[in-house]
Amino acid sequence: MRSPDSDRPVHRMRALREAVSDADSHSRRGGRMIAREWQFALPEKKHKKKYFGNLKAEVIDAGLCCHCAACASICPVNGITAGDAPIDFPNWVKECVDCGACIKVCPRWEYTPKNGLGEYIEVVAARSKRFVGQDGAMVTEFTASALEMGIIERAIFVARDSNWRTRVVTIKTPEQLYDRKITGTKYSYADVLPALKEAVLKSEAVGFVGTPCMVSAVRKMQQAFKKFERVKLAIGLFCTENFYHHDLYKFLLEKANADLRNAVKTDIKKGKFIVEMKDGSKVRIPVKDFEEIIPSGCKVCQDFAAVESDVSVGSVGSPNRFSTVMVRTEVAKQILDYIREKDYAEFGEAKLDIVQKLCDHKMKIHPWPPKKKEEKSEE
């Protein structure tokens, strides 16, 4: 099949600093990685600016950025910043080398939402017998089993500190996954993809856990840069929206006097955001009340079920303390079969119609194209 980019000129660039390169042949000079030359079809500009200027105009300033941080991970001059703040490149006018890589990997450039259940091989409800996690701990179980099988050598996970700020960790052994600060959902942005870039430079086989937008970004990275073919397992999380940590912390403290520093778990169940505190009490806030802190990029996302992942996992559609597991690719099927063979999990039936309802709900509350303010006020 002819690539839609085949008639465009091929852009050749030399990465000036740390870039996606051939880890087997790179050399280090004074701590700096000297990257090989890498190629990709040059994206078309929509504005007479450098490529980051185009990304800023069409995605960031337009309110479409999902904060996946793919651009930050791929930028050869490390100028793009992410973290607990909107994506930025403070000195892009001078420092951007105009390579176009940021646009090439951005899932919101020329955006068309993905939605629905997506394709799948098998759907089950499951609960790990050896790990404790958000619900059935099946994200943890899939990762541990993939490591045991040798499908991956390491995995990128999101952990948290005592203030519930996210931090990215590298998992190399199943034993690391018994740490409860590593497992469970944090509902805040994390720099997963910059860490994933580092992982593919060091390993032949990598796994990661991410939101639907992160998974979509990685698929674009795999198309553009061969090194990312080393990502062998993408575990996608059911997701409605995510938050900046500083906004979430302030909101919970002001609205419900819930200090995340005293929390042991956060969850979303039946339209309520639930914070379980160290003293055993629980704070419940209607999810609709969070509208004021939902990032604009989340408000145009319709992918609830992470349709581009190898396996999607979430609580919706399963009994209490179980996870719904949607196996989408053969590699995920191999892992699920291994889990069954080793008797690592209990299994039940997932109600796919309930997952479908959440997929439909996300499409309804996040319309595309976005409704104008006057249209919303008339509803």
Is there a contact between 334 and 149 (Cβ–Cβ < 8 Å)? yes
3-state SS, residue 93: helix
CA distance 113 to 163: 33
Element (H, E) at 336: helix 330-341
- Rounded to 5, what percent of the chain is helix, strand, coil? 35, 20, 45
Q: Which residues pair with 154 in a beta bridge?
A: 206
| CA-atom Rg of the chain in angstroms | 21
Q: What would the DSSP string read from start to end of 70-134?
A: HHHHH-TT---B-SSS--B-TTHHHH-----HHHHH-TTTT-----SS---SEEEEEEESS---S
User: Do the Cβ atoms of 50 and 172 come closer than 8 Å?
Assistant: no
CA nearest neighbour of 122 among 338, 323, 311, 308: 311
Written as tens digits, the pLDDT of the chain (379 aa) is: 333 343 444 443 444 333 444 333 333 332 233 344 356 677 889 999 999 999 999 999 999 999 999 999 999 999 999 999 999 999 999 999 999 999 999 999 999 999 999 999 999 999 999 998 889 999 999 999 999 999 999 999 999 888 899 999 999 999 999 987 787 788 999 999 999 999 999 999 999 999 999 999 999 999 999 999 999 999 999 999 999 999 999 999 999 999 999 999 998 888 899 999 999 999 999 999 999 999 999 999 999 999 999 999 999 999 999 999 999 999 999 999 999 999 999 999 999 999 999 999 999 999 999 877 555 545 5
Contact call for residues 275 and 266 (beta carbons, < 8 A): yes
Residue pair 123/352 in contact (Cβ under 8 Å)? The answer is: yes
Tell me how far apart the alpha carbons of residues 100 and 268 are, in angstroms, rounded to a whole number.
38
> How many angstroms from the chain centroid is the CA of residue 219?
11
Res 271: pLDDT: 86
- In the block, tokens 């073919």 appear at 229
Extract the tokens encoding 252: 């919970």
Instruction: Answer yes or no: are the C-beta atoms of 104 and 43 closer than 8 Å.
Output: yes
Whole-number pLDDT of residue 123: 98
Q: How many residues does the chain have?
A: 379
What's the pLDDT at 134?
A: 81
Q: How far apart, in whole angstroms, are the C-alpha atoms of residue 197 and residue 276?
A: 34
Taking alpha carbons only, the member of 336, 302, 313 closest to residue 115 is 302
Identify the burial level of 162 via C-beta atoms within 10 angstroms of its C-beta, where 0-12 means exposed, 13-18 middle and 19 or more buried: exposed
pLDDT value of residue 300: 97
The pLDDT score that the predictor gives to residue 370 is: 86
For residue 134, give both structure tokens. Answer: 């958000």
Count CA atoms within 13 Å of residue 316 on its CB side. Answer: 21
